[in-house]
Amino acid sequence: RVPNAGLPRFHDCAFLAAYPFGQVLLSDNAMPVDVTLQAFNPLIPADTERSGIPVAILCFAVTNKTNEYLTASLCGNIQNFIGTDGTDGIPKANRNTFKLENSATPIQGIFMTSNGVERGSEQWGSMALATTATSGITYRTAWASLNWGDSLLDFWDDFASDGLLEKRTTINVDSPIASLAVNLDIAPGDTQTVTFLLTWHFPNRQTWTPTATPITRSRTGDLGNIGAHTDNPNRIGNYYTTRYHDAWDVAIKTAATLPELEATTLAFVRNFCESDLPLVVKEAALYNLSTLRTQTCFRAEDGHFYGWEGCNDKAGSCHGSCTHVWNYEQATAFLFGDLACSMREIEFLHATNDDGLMSFRVNLPLERATAWGLAAADGQMGCIMKLYRDWQLSGNTTLLQKLWPKVRKALAFCWLPGSWDADQDGVMEGCQHNTMDVEYYGPNPQMGLWYLGALRAAEEMAQAMGDRQFANRCQELFVHGSEWLDEHLFNGEYYEHKIQPPLDANAIAPGLRVGMGATNIAEPELQLGDGCLIDQLVGQYMAHICGLGYLVPFDHIRQTLSSIMRYNFLPDLSWHFNHMRTFALNDEAALLMCAYPKGSRPRRPFPYFNEVMTGFEYTAAAHMFYEGMIEEGLQCISAIRTRYDGRKRNPFDEAECGHHYARAMASWSSVLALTGFHYSGITATLQFAATDRFSRVFWSNGYAWGTCQQKPDTNATEVEIIVLYGKLQLQHLIIIGLGSEKYDSVREIEENQSVAFLIKHAEEVE
């Protein structure tokens, strides 16, 4: 009993996509028309406001295939389900109203509200189904209330007879169905279009960590000021609802700017897709951006940006903008810098206590931010590196000044008794909870390189803050830690984990042991041990993105990546045993989480060692690109996208602990690695990798975006930087391997402007 399964359908269909644009092509030999549904909603890098509009835009293009004039009719139907979210709640006294807006851009359609749902409930709000068409419109605010499925029969008989809708009156229907139809007169061979807008407005998002029963309120259909509902301690709201009065207001304002929204979104997608990058890299990067607009992510009413790890079928998966998961992804920072900076403010100003312990899950509302009270070694170190990255991209030293005291404490937390580096030698040996959901005991490359990267980032930020003593301390620890880690953990092929149990549980600082790992810390289980881990070099991956240089010798880095490909990449999983979750199987290829080529696998290694997860695969692949291992990196990404090809799995939903998993947005880092893109707003320096032929690539720093065009000749290369959106501060351009050019002072390149450079080839440039 699937709803509407019995409706007739076109015989032939196809789906074309370049996110966020999707086209459905419909045709049938028995039909005199072909139909193309062109659907999208605005996605404009560096513009969080217009990329967060609660709207689906559906444009239907109907082509007359005959030699005669035809009349066609398109009808949209939606049930007013206000009051239920699919899991909780029920509709009550919902009402649909036809509205006509005679504004500069006229719209008309059905506005959906409720007179019975609790106004303070999470399920209360409004929806609208509207069209920009100005004529040929008929509608229903409700279907006939009939039994035995005859409500649908009545609708079909009515609509199929002449393409027009007759009104129906119903009594005591809590969730009436709205219908909106548009008639089109189409000349022979001509195409006519009609655009529908589906909008929504639900203001009462609740916290993901409720501690009190929400306060109920009187039932009312009033759509007044949502700010009046501040008596619920668990309400955090939705930012988008502060920009609109209700769903009808969304429709009005979106319709007025629709051509511009489409054109700007198309400019982004077209310029990105036309970049000289491998197709599979562009697909992986672009399609995973969809996660930013799924239920994985949201902005609370105060504007702060948060994320689950992913989505379960009926609820979010793993709350709190988990620091160690969100460490990997790069899409947010390089496309929406203000959202990334918002996350840094939450992590340091709200989730870090006075001792420097950063809760790796932030509880909401923010007065409960530190209630989680548990720290992750990789999460905390990664946040320090991410702040350095976001400071550089934004050029916002005021942000660094505001966060620096807590950043200092977050790093110094490593040196407290019983913490990660209590002996202060630049090596993490303590109880290290991490993204494998267990605690490692003893020095290991995964945590060790995150720590080295955090020391380097903190050194640079301390210098900028004039804190030379702290900078010197970070440098000393980095130098010693780097030398020690390379000498003691590198086995000639890759870096190993030296298991080092603590003296006893009392030797572990509070907040470090989460309780998901070893039960016997004298002989801890669930460790990495001698395994070849897929992301053992993740700190170096992040250091390259940040421009912080090598953390350990570069030749050992490359050797390690070669070993990961040799031992972890399986071109066929048919004979691979996996005792945990299955994200790849049968004849599919994948990069395994961990391999034990030395034959010394712990009896019970860390939980996920046999699994496959795309976020980790993208991280390793992008790092291979940084080290010049192009073929190997492409092999890894091609394996992922073959698995998520639209037939086997959803190409817009790379799963891990939940659908639309945040870590998979690490796919954007391959764009950075292959183009050599790096930007510092502090020094106004822009950097790209040299090419040996004409090349045009897309770039974005989170605040502006455009293209870089290189035209190499015998002795010099012409470089043109085009800004297509936003403003770019630029003084110094570096083309890695060729040379650089520098202005006397910083220039601000405006939107739709470009600057040209002629870089003479140096004889030898490292």
Residue 225, pLDDT above cutoff 80: no
Rounded to the nearest integer, the mean pLDDT of the chain is 95
Q: What is the DSSP string of 21-45?
A: EEEEEEE-TT-SEEEEEEEE----T
Q: pLDDT of 245-300, one tens digit each?
A: 999 999 999 999 999 999 999 999 999 999 999 999 999 999 999 999 999 999 99
Q: Could you tell me if 733 and 719 are in contact, meaning their C-beta atoms sit under 8 angstroms apart?
A: yes
Residue 290 near residue 652, CB atoms below 8 Å: yes
Q: What's the Cα-to-Cα distance from 70 to each of 37, 62, 63, 103, 158, rounded to whole Å?
A: 19, 11, 10, 30, 19
Q: What is the pLDDT of residue 230?
A: 54
Amino acid 222: pLDDT: 34
State the average pLDDT over residues 632-656: 97
How is residue 422 written in tokens? Answer: 């209590």
Nearest alpha-carbon partner for 478 in 459, 504, 498, 495: 459
- Model confidence over 589-622: pLDDT tens digits? 999 999 999 888 999 999 999 999 999 999 999 9
Torsion angle (degrees, nearest 10) of CA 596, 597, 601, 605: 0
The rounded distance, in Å, linking the Cα atoms of 425 and 450 is 15
Looking at the DSSP assignment, which residues form a beta bridge with residue 748? 729
- What are the phi and psi torsion angles at 662 (to 5°)? -60, -40
Q: Which amino acid is at 713?
A: D
Question: CA 261 → CA 267, 302, 684, 758, distances in Å?
Answer: 10, 25, 29, 35
Q: Which helix (H) or strand (E) holds 111?
A: strand 107-114
Residue 230: partners with Cβ closer than 8 Å, 6 or more residues away: none
Residue that has been written with the tokens 């931010």 in this structure = 369
193 closest CA partner among 63, 57, 13: 63
Q: Rounded to whole angstroms, what are the CA distances from 575 to 100, 364, 569, 586?
A: 63, 45, 13, 8
CA-CA distance, 635 to 565, in Å (whole number)? Answer: 10
- pLDDT at res. 763: 57
- Give the confidence band of 426 by pLDDT, cuts at 50, 70, 90: very high
Read off the tokens for 374.
Answer: 């548990």
Mean pLDDT of 352-373: 97
Residue 646 has φ and ψ, to the nearest 5°, of: 90, -15
* pLDDT tens-digit series, residues 456-485: 999 999 999 999 999 999 999 999 999 999
pLDDT for res 218:
31
Task: State the SS3 of 573-639.
Answer: CCCCCCCCCCCCCCCCCEECCEECCCCCCCCCECCCCCCCCHHHHHHHHHHHHHCCCHHHHHHHHHH
Backbone region of residue 353 per phi and psi (left: phi > 0; alpha: psi in -120 to 50; beta: other values): beta
Contact assessment for residue 384 and residue 457, using Cβ atoms and an 8 Å cutoff: yes
- The mean pLDDT value for 496-500 works out to 97
DSSP-derived 3-state class of residue 431:
strand
Q: What is d(CA 740, CA 742) in angstroms, rounded to the nearest whole number?
A: 7
Q: Per the structure block, which two tokens stand in for 181?
A: 């139809």
* pLDDT computed for residue 227 by the predictor: 40
- φ, ψ (nearest 5 deg) of residue 689: -85, 145
